[in-house]
């Protein structure tokens, strides 16, 4: 499994404001959108391309095009905050949904919805801003691989070392990119320093 963090001045600037307690939901959504854009561009750097013969106004040339659009799979709810940015960059991408909610007492992820298109041989961008214990991402990856995905790239905004290690064990072939690798989880399995509950801050709940 590969794990990569963004080393980017603008991403750091956006994430710092995203983390602040006093950032209200409308601004939080805007910042999440901008950060997701940077992450998606980086996550798709090595997608397979095919040569394409074109003609510019001046001469013919050999360009490239994506061989196939990846499939977006946001993990509900918080992953929805990354979908508009991903759609702007990959307008041809189809979208599947996985609904997972952590039990507040045990932090165990419970599946409540799964609607995936045929993923046979496809590349999937699994979208979830928070990678804490890794339970939600591991469960989502299991479903996505079971539906035939050939390559899965998990795109997160904040990751905890515990979650990255768990995913490494559960899905050795999974690729992960995150804007940050934070310090640790607290006793309630929240990420420190983190940003709190992403879904609540995104949706104002």
Instruction: Return residues touching ligand PRP (CB under 6 A).
Output: 75-78, 100-102, 107, 109, 128, 130-137, 163, 189, 197-199
The least distance separating ligand PRP from the CB of residue 107, rounded to whole angstroms, comes to 5
Catalytic residue, candidates 5, 17, 23, 197: 197
CB proximity list for 45: less than 8 A, separation 6 or greater: none
User: Dihedral sign, CA of 86, 91, 92, 94?
Assistant: positive
Q: Is 103 a catalytic residue?
A: no
Q: Is 19 a catalytic residue?
A: no
Nearer CB in complex with ligand URA: 108/197:
197
Q: CA dist 137 to 19, 92, 190, Å?
A: 21, 24, 15
Q: Is 22 a catalytic residue?
A: no
Q: Would residue 185 be called left, alpha or beta, if left means φ above 0 and alpha means ψ between -120 and 50 degrees? A: beta
The least distance separating ligand PRP from the CB of residue 81, rounded to whole angstroms, comes to 9
Distance CA(28)–CA(8), nearest Å, equals 19
Query: With CB cut-offs between 5 and 8 Å by kind, which of ligand PRP, ligand URA, none does residue 35 bind?
Result: none
**How many residues belong to the chain?**
205
The least distance separating ligand URA from the CB of residue 115, rounded to whole angstroms, comes to 22
Catalytic residue, candidates 19, 34, 44, 102: 102
Helix (H, G, I), strand (E, B) or coil at 24: coil
What would the two tokens of residue 34 be?
């901008």
| Binding flag, residue 197, ligand URA (CB under 6 A) | yes
> Which alpha helices (DSSP H) does the chain contain, by range?
9-19, 25-43, 83-89, 135-146, 161-170, 198-203
Query: With CB cut-offs between 5 and 8 Å by kind, which of ligand URA, ligand PRP, none does residue 77 bind?
Result: ligand PRP
If binding means CB under 6 A, how many residues of this protein chain bind ligand URA?
A: 8
The contact mask relative to ligand URA for 128-167 (x = CB under 6 A, - = no) is: --x-x-----------------------------------
Catalytic residue list: 102, 106, 197, 200
């Amino acid at each position: 499994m590969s794990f990569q963090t963004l080393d980017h001045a603008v991403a750091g600037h956006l994430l710092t404001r995203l983390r602040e307690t006093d950032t209200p939901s409308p601004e939080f959504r805007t910042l999440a959108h901008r950060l997701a854009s940077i992450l998606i561009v980086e996550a798709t750097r090595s997608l397979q391309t095919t040569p394409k013969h074109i003609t510019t106004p001046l001469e013919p040339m050999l360009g490239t095009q994506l061989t196939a659009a990846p499939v977006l799979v946001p993990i509900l709810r918080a992953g929805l905050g990354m979908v508009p940015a991903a759609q702007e960059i990959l307008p041809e991408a189809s979208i599947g949904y996985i609904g997972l909610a952590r039990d507040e007492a045990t932090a165990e992820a419970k599946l409540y919805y799964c609607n995936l298109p045929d993923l046979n041989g496809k590349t999937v961008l699994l979208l979830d801003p928070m990678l804490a214990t890794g339970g939600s991402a591991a469960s989502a990856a299991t479903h996505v691989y079971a539906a035939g995905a050939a390559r899965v790239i998990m795109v997160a905004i904040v990751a905890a070392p515990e979650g990255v290690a768990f995913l490494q064990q559960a899905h050795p072939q999974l690729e992960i990119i995150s804007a940050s690798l934070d310090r640790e989880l607290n006793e309630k399995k929240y990420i420190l320093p983190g940003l709190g509950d992403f879904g609540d801050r995104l949706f104002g709940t």
